[in-house]
């Protein structure tokens, strides 16, 4: 299909390690597709196989089985890599170059030159927040600054597809937000972004689609909105009132199954499993001298899904046999 930027089918990778050539199955039967103009989060804990899949996509290593293509061309393909900006995991930058020199070098390798190259380097340095340190040698930069420089290198040739391996690593909260903004801007301009992360919460707000990997297999995948639309896991209520009224109310409602209550200053925090018993609690609040200030339904997060499908599923298998 023309709107598929990346297509991966039944990808498998077995590494042979050490003197005894011990088998390490890094990927087994991994399939997914990435649509044009979307942000795709490739998630999973450390060691899940994310970098291995990215190395296959970028042509650094060959798969043991399965196939992968970018813009309809089987990887590796030199032609399509011109349209791809790549941020490797723990990217390396020559220590005696400055970020500006490094970006200009990457730009030249991508065929940019002259004024075009200088202007573009300047703009990209600004976008990744490195303009202020553009002329310091890389060896004097912090890990976060290095990461920004490498992200700049991935952006220098204005690629149609960005492949970013852990783009948030080494960044502080401000840096993480800036990277998030850059990724969102790229999508606004119709570009496609494929990136990996081991921090689920970091990516929840921006991905269109996700694939969560665990031990080389996809355990959760799909449209993020569909995945998280699910039922309300629990409901949080904040109730205000005099301490003695709150205590009386609390005593009454904790008798209801699945309802917990924690006292706070001038009120209570009530935790209700699911949402079915919320009306009961609200109705009871009228009989006591208390006021419901907040009702917040909590839906499943990616983390919940991951725990349920990957880790919970695994435990079930172990105890079931």
Ligand X SMILES: Nc1ncnc2c1ncn2[C@@H]1O[C@H](COP(=O)(O)OP(=O)(O)O)[C@@H](O)[C@H]1O
**What span, in angstroms and rounded, lies between the C-alpha atoms of 288 and 249?**
6
Q: Does 51 bind Mg ion (CB under 5 A)?
A: yes
Which partner in Mg ion, ligand X, none is near 79 (CB below 5 to 8 A by kind)?
Answer: none
From the list Mg ion, ligand X, none, partner contacted by residue 52 (C-beta under 5 to 8 A by kind):
ligand X
Closer by beta carbon to ligand X, 45 or else 76 = 45
Residue 128 near which of ligand X, Mg ion, none (CB within 5-8 Å, type-dependent): none
Question: Is the Cβ of residue 176 or residue 277 nearer to Mg ion in the bound state?
Answer: 176
Q: How far is the CB of 217 from ligand X (least distance, A)?
A: 12
Of 130 and 218, the one with the shorter C-beta distance to ligand X is: 218
**Vertex 91: Cα angle to 89 and 94 (nearest 5):** 170
| Rounded-to-integer distance, Cα 236 and Cα 239, Å | 10
Q: Are 128 and 148 a contacting pair, CB within 8 Å?
A: yes
Residue 198 beta carbon to Mg ion: minimum distance, rounded to whole angstroms: 8
Q: Which is nearer to ligand X, 24 or 262 (CB)?
A: 24
Q: Are strands 73-74 and 84-87 parallel, antiparallel or unpaired?
A: unpaired
Q: What's the order of all strands across the beta sheet hosting 4-17?
A: 22-35, 4-17, 65-70, 73-74
> Quick one: which of 49, 32, 67 has its CA closest to 207?
32
Task: Report in angstroms how near the CB of residue 13 gets to Mg ion at its nearest.
Answer: 13
Q: CB nearer to ligand X: give 125 or 203.
A: 203
Size of the site for Mg ion (CB under 5 A): 3
Binding site for ligand X (CB under 6 A): 15, 17, 24, 26, 44, 46-52
3-state helix, strand, coil in the chain (%, to 5): 40, 30, 30
First to last CA, the chain: 42
For Mg ion, which is the closer residue by CB, 52 or 98? 52
Distances (CA, A) of 203 to 24, 42, 176, 183, 267: 28, 10, 10, 11, 34
The window from 10-18, 82-90, 121-129, 279-287 that contacts Mg ion (CB under 5 A) reads 82-90
From the list Mg ion, ligand X, none, partner contacted by residue 99 (C-beta under 5 to 8 A by kind): none
Residues lying near Mg ion in the complex (CB under 5 A) are found at 50-51, 89
């Amino acid at each position: 299909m023309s709107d598929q930027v990346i297509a991966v089918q039944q990808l498998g990778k077995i590494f042979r390690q050490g003197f005894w050539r011990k088998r390490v199955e890094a990927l087994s039967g991994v399939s997914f597709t990435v649509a044009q103009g979307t942000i795709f989060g490739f998630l999973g804990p450390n060691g899940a196989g994310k970098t291995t899949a990215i190395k296959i996509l970028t042509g650094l290593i060959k798969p043991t089985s399965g196939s992968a293509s970018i813009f309809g061309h089987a990887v590796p393909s030199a032609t399509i890599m011109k349209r791809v900006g790549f941020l490797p995991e723990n990217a390396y930058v020559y220590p005696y170059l400055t970020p500006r020199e490094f970006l200009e070098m990457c730009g030249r390798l991508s065929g940019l030159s002259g004024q075009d190259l200088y202007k573009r380097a300047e703009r990209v340095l600004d976008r990744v927040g490195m303009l202020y340190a553009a002329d310091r040698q890389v060896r004097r930069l912090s890990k976060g600054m290095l990461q920004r420089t490498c992200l700049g290198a991935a952006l220098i040739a204005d690629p149609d597809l960005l492949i970013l391996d852990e783009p948030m690593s080494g960044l502080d909260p401000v840096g993480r937000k800036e990277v998030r903004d850059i990724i969102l801007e790229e999508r606004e301009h119709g570009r496609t972004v494929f990136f990996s992360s081991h921090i689920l919460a970091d990516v929840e707000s921006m991905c269109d689609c996700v694939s969560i990997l665990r031990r080389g297999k996809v355990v959760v995948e799909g449209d993020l909105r569909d995945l998280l639309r699910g039922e309300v896991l629990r409901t949080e209520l904040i109730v205000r009132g005099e301490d003695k009224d709150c205590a009386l109310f609390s005593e009454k409602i904790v008798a209801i199954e699945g309802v917990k209550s924690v006292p706070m200053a001038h009120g209570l925090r009530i935790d209700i499993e699911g949402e079915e018993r919320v009306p009961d609690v609200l109705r009871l609040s009228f009989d006591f001298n208390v006021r419901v200030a907040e009702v917040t339904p909590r839906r499943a997060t990616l983390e919940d899904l991951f725990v349920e499908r990957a880790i919970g599923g695994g435990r079930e298998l172990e105890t079931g046999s």
